[in-house]
Amino acid sequence: MISSISSIIVAIILLSILVIAHEFGHFIVAKKSGILVEEFAVGMGPKLISHQFGETVYSLRLFPLGGFCRMLGEDQDCHDERSFQEKSLWKRAAVVVAGPIMNFILAGVFFFGLAATTYIMLPQVSLLTEGYPAQQVGIQLGDRIIKLDGKMVGLFEDVELIMREADGSPMEVEVIRQGQKLAFSITPMLSTEDGTYKIGFIPTVRNGMFSKDVDGYEKASFMDTLRYTGDSLVFYTRHMAEGLGRLFTFQVSKEEVAGPIGIFQVVGEGYQEGLKHSVAAAIQNLAYLGAILSVNLGLLNLFPVPALDGGRLLFIIIEAVRRKPMNPELEGKVHFTGFMLLMLLMLYIAFNDVSKIFMG
């Protein structure tokens, strides 16, 4: 019982951090642009706590499933000089995209912290497997794989994913060796150990900057960690974008979709699994989940759907093309309709989450 309560509390805190970061992005750029921010809220529904500092009301609301940064003139016609509608297209666009950008920055902080306190695994050959294609075609120790089957490689996870997708088909491997690019034609071999296709190399592992040293592994430098962080952001952004694209084109089954309840469950399980080893492991699990969820939140909000940041950005782009302001009341109605549809979708997904929990 206590573990369940602690898991829920941890999940609420983690999701709140993601929301606060997102809304703070809107908030700080709006302030810098001279826009009046009327309210900065964490959560939705009735207010639990609120207090006004300066010209802005800061509130904590009942349901920890979102938040908002309400600006003057955001959804209604207002000609005050500090209104959102009265600012230039560039300033409005900057305010809109600042939320998702903050989510990517937060994800980068999580990835960097995780890499610095654990280890990083690079797509660089530290050992060749006897009798496998990599050794046979002339790949050498120290070679860093930069492209596989025509796709860019930043992480070792890229190699594993591309190998699964290729399903044993012949492919080109491009490596960097002592500053020179070399290309090899290679056909993966089916491993008898786990039934997956491999080219036969062990990746390079380096200890995190602040982790305990493990014998036989070098310490990752700051630049190694920074590059790994960037590659992680690219990897998860690309694959999250593909997943969200499938979601909005109705190419996913309901079993693949998780809403707030499902997310709470995953975060709670990750936290409890980490606690079996140590508090540090639990925090690292939360950092990993936080990074992925933050990328997901940033990407989701960039989709051109009414009520999302991407929908607002689309209206700004339309206004720029038309060279004529949109009707604020009409835009407000469109976003409100989009918001209601999103709420219905969230209710459906929540019902689906509950069904999966009770049906196992």
Contact (Cβ atoms closer than 8 angstroms) between residue 120 and residue 167: no
Residue 235 has pLDDT above 60, yes or no: yes
Report the distance separating Cα 108 and Cα 232, nearest Å.
Answer: 8
Taking every pair of C-alpha atoms in the chain, what is the biggest distance, in angstroms? 74
Listed residue (233, 249, 243) closest to 305, CA to CA: 249
Neighbours of 276 (CB within 10 A): 8
Q: What share of the chain has pLDDT > 70, as a percent? A: 92
Helices (DSSP H) in 60-148: which residue ranges? 89-117, 133-137
Active site (annotated) includes residue 23: yes
Q: Which two tokens stand for residue 327?
A: 């009707």
Listed residue (242, 220, 238, 221) closest to 152, CA to CA: 238
Report the distance separating Cα 360 and Cα 352, nearest Å.
Answer: 12
Burial class (CB in 10 A: 0-12, 13-18, 19+), 91: middle
Radius of gyration of the chain (CA): 24
Report the distance separating Cα 109 and Cα 154, nearest Å.
Answer: 18
Helix (H, G, I), strand (E, B) or coil at 126: strand
Burial class (CB in 10 A: 0-12, 13-18, 19+), 319: middle
Q: What is the pLDDT of residues 93-127, one digit of tens each?
A: 999 999 999 999 999 999 999 999 999 999 999 99
Handedness of CA 213, 217, 219, 223 (dihedral sign): negative
Residue 73 has pLDDT above 90, yes or no: no
Contact (Cβ atoms closer than 8 angstroms) between residue 123 and residue 114: no
Residue 146 has pLDDT above 80, yes or no: yes
SS (H, E, C) 279-306: HHHHHHHHHHHHHHHHHHHHHHHHCCCC
Q: What is the pLDDT of residue 148?
A: 94
Distances (CA, A) of 119 to 12, 47, 110, 173, 212: 28, 43, 14, 25, 10
Q: What is the pLDDT of residues 268-313, one digit of tens each?
A: 888 888 888 889 889 999 999 999 999 999 998 998 888 889 999 9
Report the distance separating Cα 327 and Cα 290, nearest Å.
Answer: 38
Q: What is the pLDDT of residues 309-346, one digit of tens each?
A: 999 999 999 999 998 887 777 777 887 887 787 777 76
- Range 245-253 average pLDDT: 71
Helix (H, G, I), strand (E, B) or coil at 61: strand
Q: What is the pLDDT of residues 159-206, one digit of tens each?
A: 989 998 888 899 999 999 999 999 999 999 988 888 889 999 999 999
Listed residue (76, 84, 72) closest to 328, CA to CA: 76
The amino acid present at 109, given as its one-letter code, is: V
Contact (Cβ atoms closer than 8 angstroms) between residue 241 and residue 254: no
Report the distance separating Cα 180 and Cα 175, nearest Å.
Answer: 8
- Range 77-106 average pLDDT: 93
Task: Spell out the domains of the chain, with CATH numbers in brackets.
Answer: 2-116+262-358 (no CATH), 119-207 (2.30.42.10)
Task: Spell out the residues 6+ positions from residue 220 whose beta carbon is closer than 8 angstroms to its own.
Answer: 115, 116, 119, 120, 206, 207, 208, 209, 228
Listed residue (143, 148, 106) closest to 125, CA to CA: 143
Listed residue (304, 177, 185, 318) closest to 244, CA to CA: 304
Task: Spell out the residues 6+ positions from residue 8 whose beta carbon is closer than 8 angstroms to its own.
Answer: 264, 268
Which residue spans within the chain are E strands per DSSP?
37-53, 56-71, 119-128, 144-148, 151-152, 171-177, 180-186, 189-190, 197-198, 201-207
CA 248 to centroid of chain Cα atoms: 17
